[in-house]
């Protein structure tokens, strides 16, 4: 299959896609960290009241 000719626009598009994809992934990981820490804190607090 013949390779596509080099296109600066396509290259920049790929870089932007990669960057936005990475920041989405980073945002998801931070969301998970906050979610887990938040719920863990709530559970620990509730158990300290019960305990």
Q: Does 26 bind other proteins (CB under 8 A)?
A: yes
Distance CA 16, CA 6 (A): 17
Q: Using CA atoms, how far apart are residues 32 and 30, in angstroms rounded to an integer?
A: 5
User: Residue 35, interface with other proteins (CB under 8 A)?
Assistant: yes
State the minimum distance, in angstroms, from the CB of residue 25 to other proteins. 5
The pair of structure tokens assigned to 29 is: 């990981």
Nearer to other proteins, 7 or 15 (CB): 15
d(CA 39, CA 34): 8
Binding-site residue total for other proteins (CB under 8 A)? 25
Interface positions with other proteins (CB under 8 A) = 17-18, 20-22, 24-26, 28-30, 32-33, 35-37, 39-41, 43-45, 47-48, 51
């Amino acid at each position: 299959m013949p390779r596509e000719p080099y296109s600066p626009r396509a290259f920049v598009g790929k870089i932007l896609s990669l960057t936005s994809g990475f920041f989405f992934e980073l945002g998801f990981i931070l969301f998970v960290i906050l979610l887990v820490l938040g719920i863990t804190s709530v559970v620990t607090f509730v158990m300290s009241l019960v305990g």
